[in-house]
Structure 1
Amino acid sequence: MKKLKSCGILMACMLLLVGCTLLSEEKVKLRDLDFTVLSEEKIPEQLMAVIEEKKAAPFHVTYTDNDNLYICVGYGEQETGGYSIAVDELYLTDSNIYAATSLLGPEASDKTTAVPSYPYIVIKTEYLEQTVTFE
């Protein structure tokens, strides 16, 4: 009986360690991706239509034209204008593309309009098969 109890405790510890290893699996950056932030005039028409449809709420969209990958992040309706968006990271791992952006609010000294705005960013990069993960 004592041997069986010891085996049970050992098995529980092994399962716990395996679970911790799976949860702590690190994403290993293979390389940063080169990218361009597109102005509104350079966004493909089909993608622009999707953005217009979704811009009132926060969104994440990817689009490809088989030559390029477009990664879009929208922050939904904001009370005023004057916002900008920074690309914090865009990199490739063996299984995913990771994209991280930040919404930057207007400076206190900026003159902003009381008209709502819908800040979004469109990032153009090389076409890759990996799934985009937004952070």
Structure 2
Amino acid sequence: MSFWTKLFGGAAAEPIDALGSAVDRIFTNDEERMQAQAVLDKIAQQPAILQAEINKIEAQHRSLFVAGWRPAIGWVCAIGLAFPFILNPLIEWAGGSGPEIPMDQLMELVVALLGLGTLRTFEKLAGRTK
């Protein structure tokens, strides 16, 4: 069937598929069919648009338990990265041996962040974001 069938197990996709079948029977002209498909595409996008609105509302919430999970994950990741790349080498250096920085992990992280930065730049240049 369709993406919605796979995602929701068929229950959410049935009205959209039924509407699509009805539109196919009513409209026979290619232009009318394309216009009807555009309407169906807008209907299919509504769950994603609503989820984006929910995410915006959650991010602006006053409660730390609602809006704070994103910053909390960021801080946990920052602390997790600080230990192997900053704290542990300083402890090793203070102990008398030279620090051994795990460059394979560091390079993987740097390349991933550079990729995200490049993607963000491309989206801005394409006019998809502000």
TM-score for both structures, normalised by structure 2: 0.27
**More strand per residue: 1 or 2?**
1
**More helix per residue: 1 or 2?**
2
* Structure of greater relative contact order (alpha carbons < 8 Å, 6+ residues apart): 1
TM-score for both structures, normalised by structure 1: 0.27
